[in-house]
Amino acid sequence: MPEKNKSLLGRFYRFLWMSIGGRPWTYIIRDSYHQRPLIWFAIVTLIGILLGHLFWGKPWIPGQTGN
């Protein structure tokens, strides 16, 4: 398919594909995980803590007493 017939999104994806070495981003993340598992563990843990604090349970009310 000639380059002029491709959509803008298709050209952008091709640019990204060539910029990251011609491999899918999922493979790049997988390789990164296998090289540095503790960093990925820390990232996932921090995201979990952040989401837990933002979206878990009832909102905090100043001066609220428990049961």
pLDDT-derived band at 67, boundaries 50, 70, 90? low
Count CB neighbours of 17 within 10 A: 13
pLDDT computed for residue 21 by the predictor: 74
Residue 35 reports pLDDT greater than 80: yes
Q: How far apart are CA 18 and CA 39, in angstroms?
A: 26
For residue range 22-32, list pLDDT tens digits in order.
777 788 888 88
- The C-alpha angle with vertex 32 and arms to 25 and 26, in degrees rounded to 5, equals 20
| Predicted TM-score of the model (pTM) | 0.51
pLDDT computed for residue 34 by the predictor: 93
Q: How far apart are CA 36 and CA 22, in angstroms?
A: 22
- 24 vs 36, more confident: 36
